[in-house]
Amino acid sequence: MSDDFMGGTSLPAYKFDQVGDTAVGIVDKIDKLEDRDPATGQPKRWPDGNPMYVYVFELRDPTTGDAQSLWVRGHMVKAIREAVKDAGHGTPLGLLLKVRFDSLGEPKAKGFNPPKLYKVKAEPAPANAAPRKTATVTDEEPW
């Protein structure tokens, strides 16, 4: 993991490989990035030429304070927005999110992979949640 001084943070990302995989954490930060094709590295575009975006949530484990990133795109965007609204909030920032890979949808056309569908619950973060772990800097010279 790097730090802001060296060019930003790099957190491990949640993976949703199998139905039932779940990410749980308090949303501490949201970044909006231009989405890229993983095979070519080129920016993704909508048919009208506008860029596609991906949201990167920084989720903090409420027990340990460890952070991971949650890459939010596709069906997950709608599921999170609905859960946040259902919880009576206008933003996921500061909320405890539980994001579960619930099922596979229907492929949009022959030869396409089925989309991953998610169930999301948003609720206030627990009052006793662990703070985010951060690197410590000391005045001691290590050499």
Inform me whether the pLDDT recorded for 47 exceeds 90: yes
Instruction: Check residue 14 and give its pLDDT.
Output: 92
The pLDDT of 43-67, averaged and rounded, is 93
Per-residue pLDDT at 45 exceeds 90: yes
Locate 134 and state its tokens. Answer: 């951060």
- DSSP H/E element including 27: strand 22-34
Single-letter amino acid, residue 54: V
CA distance 38 to 80: 23
- From 68, 124, 74, select the one nearest 101 (Cα to Cα): 74
Question: Residues 6 or more apart from 82 whose CB is under 8 A from it?
Answer: 120
What is the per-residue pLDDT across 19-28, written as a single tens digit (0 to 9) for each? 999 999 999 9
And the tokens for 95?
């909320």
Asked if 23 and 14 touch (Cβ cutoff 8 Å), the reply is: yes
pLDDT in tens, 116-133: 999 999 999 998 888 887
Which residues are CB-contacts of 78 (< 8 A; sequence separation ≥ 6)? none
pTM score above 0.85: no
How far is the C-alpha of 59 from the C-alpha of 13, rounded, in Å? 10
Domains identified in the chain and CATH numbers: 4-124 (2.40.50)
